[in-house]
């Protein structure tokens, strides 16, 4: 809940009417952060911040663009008792949602208790999601303490990424509340106050009470997710990319049994997005050259999840579970295909836990049993992933730049004219990788022949465009077109054309 300074001060006054303002201030000055603030679910216009204290009381986030202004968000607070957590003490978890923020904007904030800041002065800041290039870090299977986890955590903190994706097995060995404190927040909590983490649950996170600690300690996007499954899977947008985190544990099992909605939700989620990049992450890899490939879950993933990803043109899948680094070839229907037509599967399970061996696999191009993380950068229609080892050297590097494809992935023809192929008609083109981002032509001005980096030609001449997105283009057939027709689409990644019956 967003409140202004007057309302905030009034709320402190309400405390004083309880009879002990001075005592209250002294009590609050003794507040301490059991868990530092962690950014959750960052979006263009908002973010959720979670923290924990040993003491009871109402918490607030004070935030502004310049560090001096005063907006306040009151937290919802929840007490965790020893019988809930297995910890020897009770604590309060606070969760404040900041809304009406500006996209791509820097903010500073403080955690308040009783009107006093209890977070490190000047240590807490964030930038909201926005348009344009961005970078993110990927790692998983991050270990149970030790030199490797610590070294990688230090390198990841120095990346200054827009956000971090964790591919699962966050807290070894059993995903307990104590292990989240000692093996997860202890290593990354200092980064989480300025860089949002987007997690996905691993099998070890499910070992305690059906992932109850994982669910309690996170606040992921949930708007479109069926109520009973909220927290287990979700999606979000950043720049011109759409990210989906799936639960390859209980939610996949119930979906395959016909009792859970995750796969139906995934179909609808991917069908609805208009983003160029479609990046999906979950714990169990369908294609990786390690000992877990014989897992029943990996085969269920190949049977139940992969066909949906292929149907909707997902270009990149990120997994964990295999404690090593693996990168597949471009795959579609279990075979190697050419650029623009397949999916790359990258397994990043070397975040600190003990390593697994790697084996030959016909669909896997690179396999290295090394501790690592991935530095990813999205620039329009190019996505570069650089894998960094524990000593800072490069383990692997590759770029995805899918060229445009004109194709019929639905029931309708790939190129459709309305009312028919004739001068001045409307043309709709279906395919993949057709435009850097969704864009409508500006109303009230002449229609452009280039929109979001995309140009469409008929017999070599650019046509006027109304609308472009990754999967659809709408334009107008020129009035001077006659004879046989060749339609072409050019993006920053390449050119494709198709011949059509003549006029
Ligand atoms: Fe693991
Ligand atoms: Fe695992």
The Cα 234–Cα 266 span in angstroms is 9
Compute the Cα dihedral for 212, 213, 216, 218 and give only its sign: negative
What is the whole-number distance in angstroms between the Cα of residue 252 and the centre of ligand 2? 15
What is the whole-number distance in angstroms between the Cα of residue 340 and the centre of ligand 2? 30
Our CA dihedral for 318, 323, 328, 333, rounded to 10 degrees, sits at -70
The Cα 127–Cα 455 span in angstroms is 33
Helix (H, G, I), strand (E, B) or coil at 336: strand
Task: Please give the sequence-ordered ranges of beta strands (E in DSSP) within 116-206, or none if there are none.
Answer: 116-117, 125-127, 134-139, 163-166, 197-199
Contact (CB, 8 A) for 112 and 124 = no
Contact (CB, 8 A) for 463 and 449 = yes
What is the whole-number distance in angstroms between the Cα of residue 202 and the centre of ligand 2? 5
Equal CATH topology for 2-126 and 405-500: yes
What count of Cα atoms within 13 Å lies in the side-chain half-sphere of residue 367?
Answer: 18
Closest ligand (CA of 201): 2
Contact (CB, 8 A) for 91 and 80 = yes
Q: What is the 3-state secondary structure (H, E, C) of 454-500?
A: EEEEECCEECEEEEECCCEEEEECCCCCCCCEEEEEEECCEEEEEEE
The pair of structure tokens assigned to 149 is 């986890």
Is the link from the previous residue into 93 a cis peptide, with omega within 30 of 0?
no
What is the whole-number distance in angstroms between the Cα of residue 149 and the centre of ligand 1? 13
Distances 494 to 172, 334, 401, 404, 434 between C-alpha atoms, Å:
45, 26, 9, 7, 10
Closest ligand (CA of 351): 1
Count of other CB atoms within 10 angstroms of residue 112: 24
Q: What is the DSSP string of 354-378?
A: PP------TTEEEEE---EEEEEEE
- The highest-level CATH class for domain 131-400 is alpha beta
Distances 110 to 82, 106, 107, 115, 242 between C-alpha atoms, Å:
28, 14, 10, 11, 30
- DSSP at 292: G
What is the whole-number distance in angstroms between the Cα of residue 322 and the centre of ligand 2? 7
What is the whole-number distance in angstroms between the Cα of residue 485 and the centre of ligand 2? 53
Closest ligand (CA of 324): 1
Closest ligand (CA of 356): 1
- Terminus-to-terminus CA distance in the chain, angstroms? 61
The pair of structure tokens assigned to 217 is 């300690």
What is the whole-number distance in angstroms between the Cα of residue 37 and the centre of ligand 2? 27
What is the whole-number distance in angstroms between the Cα of residue 353 and the centre of ligand 1? 7
Quote the pTM value: 0.94
What is the whole-number distance in angstroms between the Cα of residue 206 and the centre of ligand 1? 12
What is the whole-number distance in angstroms between the Cα of residue 275 and the centre of ligand 2? 30
What is the whole-number distance in angstroms between the Cα of residue 188 and the centre of ligand 2? 19
Closest ligand (CA of 355): 1
The answer to whether domain 405-500 has CATH 2.60.40 is yes
Helix (H, G, I), strand (E, B) or coil at 283: coil
What is the whole-number distance in angstroms between the Cα of residue 19 and the centre of ligand 1? 53
Closest ligand (CA of 353): 1
What is the whole-number distance in angstroms between the Cα of residue 349 and the centre of ligand 1? 7
Contact (CB, 8 A) for 462 and 455 = yes
Rg of the Cα atoms in the chain = 25
What is the whole-number distance in angstroms between the Cα of residue 169 and the centre of ligand 2? 5
Contact (CB, 8 A) for 384 and 375 = no
- DSSP at 343: B
**Rounded average pLDDT per 10-residue block, the chain, 503 residues:** 55 32 37 92 98 92 86 96 96 97 97 87 91 98 96 97 98 98 96 97 98 98 95 98 98 97 98 97 98 93 98 97 98 94 97 97 98 98 98 98 89 89 94 96 93 96 97 94 90 95 71
Q: CATH code for 2-126?
A: 2.60.40.380
What is the whole-number distance in angstroms between the Cα of residue 296 and the centre of ligand 2? 13
Q: What is the 3-state secondary structure (H, E, C) of 387-439?
A: EEECCCCEEEEEEECCCCEECCCCCCCCEEEECCCCCCCEEEEEEECCCCCCE
Distances 407 to 297, 311, 429, 487 between C-alpha atoms, Å:
32, 12, 8, 13
What is the whole-number distance in angstroms between the Cα of residue 412 and the centre of ligand 2? 41
pLDDT value, residue 285? 98
What is the whole-number distance in angstroms between the Cα of residue 141 and the centre of ligand 1? 4
What is the whole-number distance in angstroms between the Cα of residue 321 and the centre of ligand 2? 4
Domain-wise residue ranges, the chain? 2-126, 131-400, 405-500
Count of other CB atoms within 10 angstroms of residue 87: 16
Compute the Cα dihedral for 336, 338, 343, 349 and give only its sign: positive
Phi-psi region of 385 (alpha: psi -120 to 50; beta: other; left: phi over 0): beta
Closest ligand (CA of 349): 1
Closest ligand (CA of 206): 2
pLDDT value, residue 3? 59
What is the whole-number distance in angstroms between the Cα of residue 205 and the centre of ligand 1? 10
Closest ligand (CA of 283): 2
What is the whole-number distance in angstroms between the Cα of residue 187 and the centre of ligand 2? 19
């Amino acid at each position: 809940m967003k409140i202004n300074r007057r309302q905030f001060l009034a709320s402190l006054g309400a405390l004083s009417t309880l009879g002990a303002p001075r005592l209250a201030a002294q009590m609050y000055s003794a507040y301490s952060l059991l868990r530092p603030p962690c950014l959750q679910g960052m979006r263009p216009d908002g973010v959720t911040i979670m923290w924990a204290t040993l003491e009871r009381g109402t918490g607030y986030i004070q935030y502004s663009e310049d560090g001096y202004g005063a907006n306040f968000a009151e937290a919802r607070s929840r007490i965790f008792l020893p019988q809930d957590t297995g910890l020897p003490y009770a604590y309060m978890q606070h969760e404040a949602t900041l809304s009406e923020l500006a996209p791509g904007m820097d903010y500073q904030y403080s955690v308040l208790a009783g009107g006093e800041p209890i977070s490190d002065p000047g240590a807490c800041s964030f930038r909201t999601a926005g348009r344009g290039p961005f970078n993110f870090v990927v790692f998983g299977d991050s270990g149970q303490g030790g030199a490797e986890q610590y070294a990688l955590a230090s390198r990841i903190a120095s990346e200054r990424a827009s956000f971090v994706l964790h591919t699962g097995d966050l807290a070894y060995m059993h995903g307990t509340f104590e292990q989240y404190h000692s093996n997860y927040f202890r290593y990354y909590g200092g980064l989480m106050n300025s860089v949002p983490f987007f997690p996905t649950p691993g099998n070890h996170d499910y070992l305690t009470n059906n992932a109850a600690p994982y669910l309690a300690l996170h606040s992921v996007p949930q708007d479109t997710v069926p109520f009973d499954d909220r927290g287990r899977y979700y999606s979000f947008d950043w720049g011109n990319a759409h990210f989906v985190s799936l639960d390859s544990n209980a939610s996949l099992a119930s979906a395959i049994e016909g009792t859970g909605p995750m796969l139906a939700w995934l179909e609808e989620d991917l069908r609805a997005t208009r983003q160029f990049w479609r990046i999906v992450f979950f714990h169990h890899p369908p294609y990786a050259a390690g000992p877990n490939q014989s897992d029943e879950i990996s085969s269920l993933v190949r049977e139940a999840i992969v066909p949906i990803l292929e149907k909707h043109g997902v270009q990149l899948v990120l997994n964990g579970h295999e404690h090593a680094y693996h990168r597949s070839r471009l795959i579609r229907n279990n075979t190697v295909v050419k650029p623009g037509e397949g999916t790359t599967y990258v397994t990043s399970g070397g975040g600190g836990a003990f390593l697994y061996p790697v084996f030959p696999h016909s669909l896997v191009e690179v396999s290295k049993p090394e501790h690592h993380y991935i530095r990813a950068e999205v620039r329009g229609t190019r996505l570069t992933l650089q894998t960094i080892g524990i000593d800072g050297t490069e383990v692997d590097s590759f770029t995805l730049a899918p060229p445009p494809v004109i194709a019929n992935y639905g029931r309708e023809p790939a190129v459709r004219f309305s009312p028919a192929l004739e001068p001045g008609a409307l043309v709709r083109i279906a395919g993949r990788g057709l435009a850097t981002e969704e864009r409508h032509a500006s109303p009230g001005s002449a229609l452009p022949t280039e929109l979001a980096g995309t140009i469409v030609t008929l017999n070599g001449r650019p046509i006027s465009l109304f609308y472009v997105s990754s999967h659809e283009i709408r334009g107008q057939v020129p009035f001077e077109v006659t004879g046989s027709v060749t339609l072409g689409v050019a993006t920053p990644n390449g050119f494709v054309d198709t011949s059509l019956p003549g006029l």
